[in-house]
């Protein structure tokens, strides 16, 4: 069942960047791609508990700040060692300048 929550304002995220969003004891990462689209994933790397929001966004890749593990943040796909487990992604929509994610 869908559960849309407001994560941030559109302007809170720079292009080709990521921010952290905490809600209900969970941590998410909100991305803005170079072509100005928004995406959301779990906030922690699946390898070890590092905040992806401290990492580097390059095109459609988020690189974990701890061990440089890479994911495609649009699909959640792990791109090779040291990350082997895909990242969970969440639907995103924009309404009235706000970024909403479906955490349901």
Partner 1 sequence: MTVASSTKRDYSLVGQSTRRAIETGLASAEWYHTDVPRKTMKELMQRSDGPAIRDTIIWIAAILGSAAGIVWFWGSWWVVPFLFVYGVLYGSSSDSRWHECGHGTAFRTRWMNDVVYHLASFMLMRNPVQWRWSHARHHTDTIIVGRDAEIAVMRPPDLIKAALAFTGILDFRYSLPILVRQAFGNLSEDEKSYIPQMEQHKAVVAARWHMVVYVATIAVAIALQSWIPLVLIGLPRLYGTWHMVLTGLLQHIGLADNVVDHRLNTRTVYMNPVSRFIYWNMNYHVEHHMFPMVPYHALPKLHELIKHDLPMPNPSMWHAYREVWPVLLRQLKYEDFYLKRELPPTAKPYRGEFHDLDITAAAAE
What residue ranges bind partner 1 (CB under 8 A)?
17, 47-49, 54-56, 58, 63, 65-68, 70, 79, 81-82, 84
Find tokens 């909403």 and name the residue.
100
**Dist CA 104 CA 102 (whole Å):** 6
CB 5, min distance to partner 1, A = 23
Of 66 and 74, the one with the shorter C-beta distance to partner 1 is 66
Q: Give the number of other CB atoms < 10 A from CB of residue 51.
A: 16
DSSP secondary structure letter of residue 79: -
Cβ contact 31:57 at 8 Å: yes
CB 16, min distance to partner 1, A = 9
**Dist CA 1 CA 28 (whole Å):** 18
CB 68, min distance to partner 1, A = 5
CB 74, min distance to partner 1, A = 17
Encoding tokens for residue 49? Answer: 């508990």
Of 42 and 100, the one with the shorter C-beta distance to partner 1 is 42
Of 6 and 54, the one with the shorter C-beta distance to partner 1 is 54
């Amino acid at each position: 069942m869908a559960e849309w929550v407001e994560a941030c304002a559109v302007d809170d995220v720079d292009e080709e960047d990521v921010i952290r969003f905490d809600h209900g004891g969970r941590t998410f990462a909100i991305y803005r791609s170079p072509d100005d689209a928004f995406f959301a994933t779990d906030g922690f790397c699946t390898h070890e508990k590092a905040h992806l929001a401290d990492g580097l966004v390059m095109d459609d890749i988020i690189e974990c700040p701890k061990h440089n593990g890479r994911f495609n943040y649009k699909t959640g796909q792990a791109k090779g060692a040291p990350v082997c487990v895909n990242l969970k992604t969440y639907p995103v929509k924009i309404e009235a300048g706000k970024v909403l994610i479906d955490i349901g």
